Amino acid sequence: MKAGNLVHSFLEQSAERFPDKVAIITQNERISYKALHSRTRKICQYLIDLKLKNGDRVAILTDQVCEYVAAYFGILEAGGIAVGLNTQTSEKALAALLSDSECAVVFTSSRFQKYYSLIKSQNSVRRVETDIRSIWEMSGEVPSTEPVHKVSLEDIAQIIYTSGTTGKPKGVMLRHSNLVANTESIVEDLGLVDTDRVMMVLPFFYSYGNSILLSHIAVGGSLVVNQNFTYPNVILDQMVKEGVTGFSGVPSTYALLVNRSAVKNYVFPNLRYLTQAGAAMTPTLAKELSEIFPSVRIFIMYGQTEAAPRLSSLNPDKLYEKTGSIGKAIPGVILEVCRPDGTPAAVGEVGEIVASGKNIMAGYWRNPEETKRVLKNGKLWTGDLARVDKDGYLFIEGRKSALIKSGSHRIAPKEIENVISEISCIHEVAVVGQQDKILGEKIVAYVVVKPDHTAVGKEIIRHCRLHLPSYKVPHKIIMIDELPKTTTGKIQTALLKNS
Amino acid sequence: MNDTVLKIREFIIENFLFDASDDALQNDTSFLEQGIIDSTGVLELVDWLEEEFEINVEDEELIPENLDSVNILSAYILRKTGE
């Protein structure tokens, strides 16, 4: 990789080195690096023709793989800021993100037709492109000249929205330099090379999915993409057929593979590595995975969107010796465990993980207060609590915030509580995450109804379905007479969480 | 419609299509393509199948060819209960 890279330089360079090699494989399509780069250039030209200015935001709301990837790199090449939106959305959620990001252009596709009028009604939106493919199919030659916009390493490349604790989403601003630094660290840590071929089941709009995309494009590897994990056996068939060398998932992905798939009947002769991010791996799961994949290196990783995103990795050789650990900082990252006053915590003492390095975000989009809260002297205070053992390995002990981690999602209980409180007969509600074998945490709502009123769980679920994306809908509603509270009236969520 | 089909329809509509009316679900609609059921939804579906029809759904059987529409599910249940 060359010095001074921008994010889209990864694609340019791989297209130069491996023009005919397949970059993306879906169930319907195989695209070479040359073809992918050509599509990207056409999208870039399309945006320039629309008079896109440097730093203008462009949203992508699509589940079409090739369209997403070409649009993403095309936006960056045109000097825009890519805003990949969660496809599991609702009118309310989408309106909030479009209004906050003030996107000039939105790339979307027919599955999201029901949102077209909402998107068009946004003041900032100048163009809604609903047929991304037509841009490269209809336009003629690939533009031969370089794009007119000069993009620098310190420009913002991407905004990724995450859940804030209040339920108001926060836009994480990542510079080209942040993403490039983290991509290079990951490539080094995992030892990725151009012969690698990863099975990609995570969506690109997540920071983890985004980093898998960038790290494999950077080395000229291939991505076998199927972002629907409804039937894991279908993915396993595809892994064998395509001879994948790597697989990346979150804890729930692996729990599903081990507990609800026929993975034990498969043989993966080319598989070399597995990565898991999102949480440490339980000893039981680590043991089961090692038995199923005896010669495969299993990397447990930890990160945050604010860190573009990866921060630490557990060397596969230490999986048993340091079970439950998230490892040590990856190359180019410094991790400290600090007391609230910023002094280092002693060995074994619980403190907050503080990260620094070129990968740390520029800040939250138009949110200086939140930025100031987490970025201090260029260091990121992650909100994750951990301890370090005598050998320097990190172990997560909890989170400062009440965010629920369900599957690959971080969810603010407050947002769900607000939606449930809209129902007129609800007196009080508390939403917590409770341990779940597959999801890590499932969403449980404890509800108190007003005197002389009744409500049934199904009605509450129906209301949530209408107003929240499906992954935020509670898995269980429990009616109780009153919520447990402290003497000062604060709801004792810890009691509900463990009940 | 036979009893099994009606039971499946009722379960899918009640658990995955809260705001839909009965005619919103066609018996040959793919749950996967229409985004009706996701990976955790499949687990709920399997738990229900095992309890309701007293069958054992093997891990190898968790494929669209057995589970991905009302009609496909109905045929699968028939095969399992007829074994």
The pLDDT value given to residue A240: 96
**Residues paired with A357 in a beta bridge:** A333
B20 vs A: CB within 8 A: no
SS3 A219: helix
Rounded distance between C-alpha atoms, residue A48 and residue A43, angstroms: 9
| Residue of chain A with shortest Cα separation from B44 | A475
- Which residue among A231, A439, A462 places its CB closest to the CB of B42? A231
Write out pLDDT tens, residues A264-280: 999 999 999 999 987 77
Which is more confident, A307 or B34?
A307
Chain B residue numbers with beta carbons less than 8 Å from the beta carbon of A470 are 38
Chain A residue numbers with beta carbons less than 8 Å from the beta carbon of B14 are 458
| Residue of chain B with shortest Cα separation from A461 | B18
Contact criterion met (CB < 8 Å) for B59 and A229: no
Mean pLDDT value across residues A79-92: 94
Write out pLDDT tens, residues A439-455: 888 999 999 988 888 77
Contact criterion met (CB < 8 Å) for B60 and A265: yes
Report whether pLDDT(A140) > 60. yes
The pLDDT value given to residue A314: 95
- In this structure, the dihedral spanned by the alpha carbons of residues B2, B5, B8 and B9, taken in order and rounded to 10 degrees, is -100
B75 vs A: CB within 8 A: no
Write out pLDDT tens, residues B13-26: 888 876 556 677 89
Round the average pLDDT of chain A to a whole number and report it.
92
Mean pLDDT value across residues A219-230: 95
| Burial of residue A399 (number of CB atoms within 10 Å: 0-12, 13-18, 19+) | middle
What order do you get walking across the sheet with A297-303 strand by strand? A30-32, A22-25, A222-225, A197-200, A246-249, A273-276, A297-303, A310-314, A328-329
pTM attached to this predicted model = 0.88
- The Cα of A150 is separated from the nearest Cα of chain B by a number of Å equal to 41
What interface predicted TM-score (ipTM) does this complex get?
Answer: 0.82
- Which residue among B39, B58, B59 places its CB closest to the CB of A230? B39
The pLDDT value given to residue A255: 85
User: Distances from the Cα of A422 to the Cαs of A22, A108, A419, A473, in angstroms?
Assistant: 50, 31, 5, 15
B65 vs A: CB within 8 A: no
Report whether pLDDT(A496) > 60. yes
Mean pLDDT value across residues A395-412: 83
B63 vs A: CB within 8 A: yes
Sign of the CA dihedral A288, A293, A299, A302? negative
Chain B residue numbers with beta carbons less than 8 Å from the beta carbon of A229 are 38-39
**Which among B78, B66, B77 has a CA at the least distance from the CA of B30?**
B66
B46 vs A: CB within 8 A: yes
Residue whose token pair is 């009236």: A489
Q: Which of A111, A231, A461, A462 is the mutation pick for testing B, counting most B CBs within 10 A?
A: A231
B59 vs A: CB within 8 A: yes
Are A316 and A298 in contact by the 8 Å Cβ rule? The answer is yes
The count of CB pairs under 8 A between chains A and B is 54
Contact criterion met (CB < 8 Å) for A231 and B19: no
- Which residue among B19, B58, B62 places its CB closest to the CB of A466? B19
Chain B residue numbers with beta carbons less than 8 Å from the beta carbon of A201 are none
Least confidently predicted of A98-107, A134-143, A229-238, B48-57: A134-143
